[in-house]
Structure formats: structure tokens, C-alpha cells
């Protein structure tokens, strides 16, 4: 399911409050461990740190988000796992007793979570294979992920990763059209897709050269660097194919804005106050979203006050969207005819 633009109350405020309080609690524990030997002549006990990181911080998150969203228990468990990890760094090795057991349990929990997630991934792949001839592969992918995963940020990350493999590995990733009455692509404007392809070829050509040079000093490091480079190459290939195949779609209730791999949100017509042509450089500014790839902006959408766009990790206030479109005149005509 795509992200939606709207005017809902911000969820980022709760995130900021939790982040500040959790950081303060961690800072106090770091100070306690570093100063306690001077105050008491012995190492700081583990139990206050365990209470703070494994009980107070998760309960704080639970209290701030009790009525917001499903999958809360998984997030609380993840925060407790992060607490164990932080405690491993905060507590000196010679002072660890309880923490040695907690560190072992953390690996058991990580293994259990990975098994669960592998099962989810397998079921998603099975559903996509079963529906690949009946509908658009990305739409099927989004539906399968939405049906099985809770938590918007986590589901969005899984969608992004799934798109990487969908567009990188399949020669024809999109066999059926996307939903919508009319579609506008973004690859031709400013040689957007051509520039991406050029960088893709350069990166692919340098991988074996870099691997050879690094292997002269450390073969293991060369393998790690090459593996990361190959993944980066796959990501760039997926981004290039997404630029070619993923359109901005006009629907009866708004625009479905797809751009590259990461951007995918629904923009209702009522959220668009004005649409006009644009020419020239676009500087980064607060409240503005630039979707121009390696090309240039030729359309700007002025949004209604209070509009919040849902992105990969949350919502943000947005006043303007700058777009680089292959056919800006036709898109402007469509938008202007629907917003009156």
C-alpha cells in the first residue's frame, strides 16, 4: 500500500520526545558507570543499568505509542535489544555478570526474529509468483507486504528492498500497467535515465579494478569491498530501471507519485493548491521536495497549508514539490483541470 499525503497530526513529535528522554537516560548511565568508582571505590552495579535500559526505556516507548499502530510488541522488543547492546558498551567487561547472559539471549532473539522474517519473505514471494500473470508485479508486492507486515517504517524499508531486487534481477520487471487513468514518466527529461546508465557503466567497470588493487593488501577486505560494491551496482541498476518503468499516475482522487525506487506516495487533488511550469535550478530548502533525478525540474506543485507527505521513515510538512517530467505540459493540463 502506498504512502498517503494528508493533514493528520504529526507522529514525529512522539519520536522526538522518546529520543530525547532515551538519550538522557543513556547519558546518565554512562556518567554513572564512569564516575561510580570515584564515588564509591568500586565498579557500578549492573542492576540500575538493566532497569533503565531494559525496563524504563521500553515502557516509556510503550506509554508514548500505546494507542498508535500495530506491531508495537515487536518495536518494544527491538528497543530492549538495543538496550542490551548499549549496556554491552557501557558496562566494563570485568564488571559483567548478568550482562553476559543477556548478550547470549540477544543472539537467540535475533535468530528467532530472522527466522520469522524469512518466513514472511517466503510467503510474500509465493504470493507474488502466484499473481505475477494477473496484475502488476509491484502492486502485488506492495499488497503482499501490507498484508503481512505491521509498522509503517519497517514495511516501507521492506518495500524498498523488495523493489531493489524486483527491478535489479528481472529483465522485464513490469509486465502489466500500473493503476491509473494516465501515466507520466521521468526518464527522458534532462537525460535523466541516460545519465544514470552512464554512471552505472562506470561503477560496473571499476569494480574488478578496485578488487584487484585492494586484494594486493588484504584479500578479505577486497571481498567485503567488492560485495558491497556489487550490491551498490544492483541498487543503481534497480534505480535506473525504476526511473524507466515507474510512472507518476493520474487517478480519480489524486496523483500517485512514484519516482525512482524510494518515492511512492498518494497526493489527493485537494492537497494541491496550484500547479505551474518551472525552469531553473532548485535549491534545497525546508518544506520542499525535489523529485528531479539527474535531470531538471519543469513542474512545481504548490500544496495546501498543513499538507504532510508520508515518506520512507515518517511524515513531514511540505509546501512545494518540484518534479522533472518527460511531458510537463500534459501533466500540468491534467492537474489544473482537476483542481479547478
Give the pLDDT of residue 321: 94
Number of domains in the chain: 2
> Which of 57, 110, 107, 112 has the alpha carbon at shortest distance from 80?
57
Q: Is residue 337 part of a domain?
A: no
**How far, in Å, are 85, 192, 251 from residue 182 at the CA level?**
50, 21, 7
Give the pLDDT of residue 67: 64
User: pTM value?
Assistant: 0.69
pLDDT at residue 250 greater than cutoff 90 = yes
Give the pLDDT of residue 65: 75
Residues 10 and 77 in one domain: yes
Mean pLDDT of 283-295: 88
Q: Is residue 52 part of a domain?
A: yes
pLDDT tens profile 113-146: 667 666 656 766 676 666 666 678 888 888 777 7
Give the pLDDT of residue 123: 66
Domain boundary residue, one of 169, 185, 213:
169
pLDDT band at residue 6 under the 50/70/90 scheme? very low
Q: Is residue 225 part of a domain?
A: no
Residues 10 and 73 in one domain: yes
Q: Is residue 91 part of a domain?
A: yes
Number of residues in the chain: 340
Enclosing domain of residue 29: 3-96
Stretch among 128-142, 153-167, 203-217 having the lowest mean pLDDT: 128-142
Q: Is residue 289 part of a domain?
A: no
> Which of 69, 77, 60, 73 has the alpha carbon at shortest distance from 11?
69
Mean pLDDT of 231-248: 92
> Which of 51, 79, 53 has the alpha carbon at shortest distance from 65?
79
Give the pLDDT of residue 327: 93
Give the pLDDT of residue 301: 94
Q: Is residue 33 part of a domain?
A: yes
Instruction: Map residue 43 onto helix, strand or coil.
Output: coil
Residues 78 and 151 in one domain: no
Q: Is residue 249 part of a domain?
A: no
Mean of per-residue pLDDT scores for the chain: 82
pLDDT cut 70: percent of the chain above it? 86
Residues 53 and 124 in one domain: no
pLDDT tens profile 257-281: 999 998 999 999 999 999 999 988 8
Give the pLDDT of residue 93: 76
Residues 72 and 21 in one domain: yes
DSSP annotation of 189 reads G
Can you tell me the distance from the alpha carbon of 251 to that of 179, in angstroms, rounded to the nearest whole number? 8
pLDDT at residue 63 greater than cutoff 50 = yes
Can you tell me the distance from the alpha carbon of 8 to that of 15, in angstroms, rounded to the nearest whole number? 15
Residues 90 and 139 in one domain: no
Domain boundary residue, one of 169, 188, 215:
169
Give the pLDDT of residue 8: 42
pLDDT tens profile 71-87: 677 778 778 888 888 88
Domain boundary residue, one of 169, 200, 233:
169
Q: Is residue 258 part of a domain?
A: no
260 with 239: CB under 8 angstroms?
Answer: yes
Amino acid at each position: 500500500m502506498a504512502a498517503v499525503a494528508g493533514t493528520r497530526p504529526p507522529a514525529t513529535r512522539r519520536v522526538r520526545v522518546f529520543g530525547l528522554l532515551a538519550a538522557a537516560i543513556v547519558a546518565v548511565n554512562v556518567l554513572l558507570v564512569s564516575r561510580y568508582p570515584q564515588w564509591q571505590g568500586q565498579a557500578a552495579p549492573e542492576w540500575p543499568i538493566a532497569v533503565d535500559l531494559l525496563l524504563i526505556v521500553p515502557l516509556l516507548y510503550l506509554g508514548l505509542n500505546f494507542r498508535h499502530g500495530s506491531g508495537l510488541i515487536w518495536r518494544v522488543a527491538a528497543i530492549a535489544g538495543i538496550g542490551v547492546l548499549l549496556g554491552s558498551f557501557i558496562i566494563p567487561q570485568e564488571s559483567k555478570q548478568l550482562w553476559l547472559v543477556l548478550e547470549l539471549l540477544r543472539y537467540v532473539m535475533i535468530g528467532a526474529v530472522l527466522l520469522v522474517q524469512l518466513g514472511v519473505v517466503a510467503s510474500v514471494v509465493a504470493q507474488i509468483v502466484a499473481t505475477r500473470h494477473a496484475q502488476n508485479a509491484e502492486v502485488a508486492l506492495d499488497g503482499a507486504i501490507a498484508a503481512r507486515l505491521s509498522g509503517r517504517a519497517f514495511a516501507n524499508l521492506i518495500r524498498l528492498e523488495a523493489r531493489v531486487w524486483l527491478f535489479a534481477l528481472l529483465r522485464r520487471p513490469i509486465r502489466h500497467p500500473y493503476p491509473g487513468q494516465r501515466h507520466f514518466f521521468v526518464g527522458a527529461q534532462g537525460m535523466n535515465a541516460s545519465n544514470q546508465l552512464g554512471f552505472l557503466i562506470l561503477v560496473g567497470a571499476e569494480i574488478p579494478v578496485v578488487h584487484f588493487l585492494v586484494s594486493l593488501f588484504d584479500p578479505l577486505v577486497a571481498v567485503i569491498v567488492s560485495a558491497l560494491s556489487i550490491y551498490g551496482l544492483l541498487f543503481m541498476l534497480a534505480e535506473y530501471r525504476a526511473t524507466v518503468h515507474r510512472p507518476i499516475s493520474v487517478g480519480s482522487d489524486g496523483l500517485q507519485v512514484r519516482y525512482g525506487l524510494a518515492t511512492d506516495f498518494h497526493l489527493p487533488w485537494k492537497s494541491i493548491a496550484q500547479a505551474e511550469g518551472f525552469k531553473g535550478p532548485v535549491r534545497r530548502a525546508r518544506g520542499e521536495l525535489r523529485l528531479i533525478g539527474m535531470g531538471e525540474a519543469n513542474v512545481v506543485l504548490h500544496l495546501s497549508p498543513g499538507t504532510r507527505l508520508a515518506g520512507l521513515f515518517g511524515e513531514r510538512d511540505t509546501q512545494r514539490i518540484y518534479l522533472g517530467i518527460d511531458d510537463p505540459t500534459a501533466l500540468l493540463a491534467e492537474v489544473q483541470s482537476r483542481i479547478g
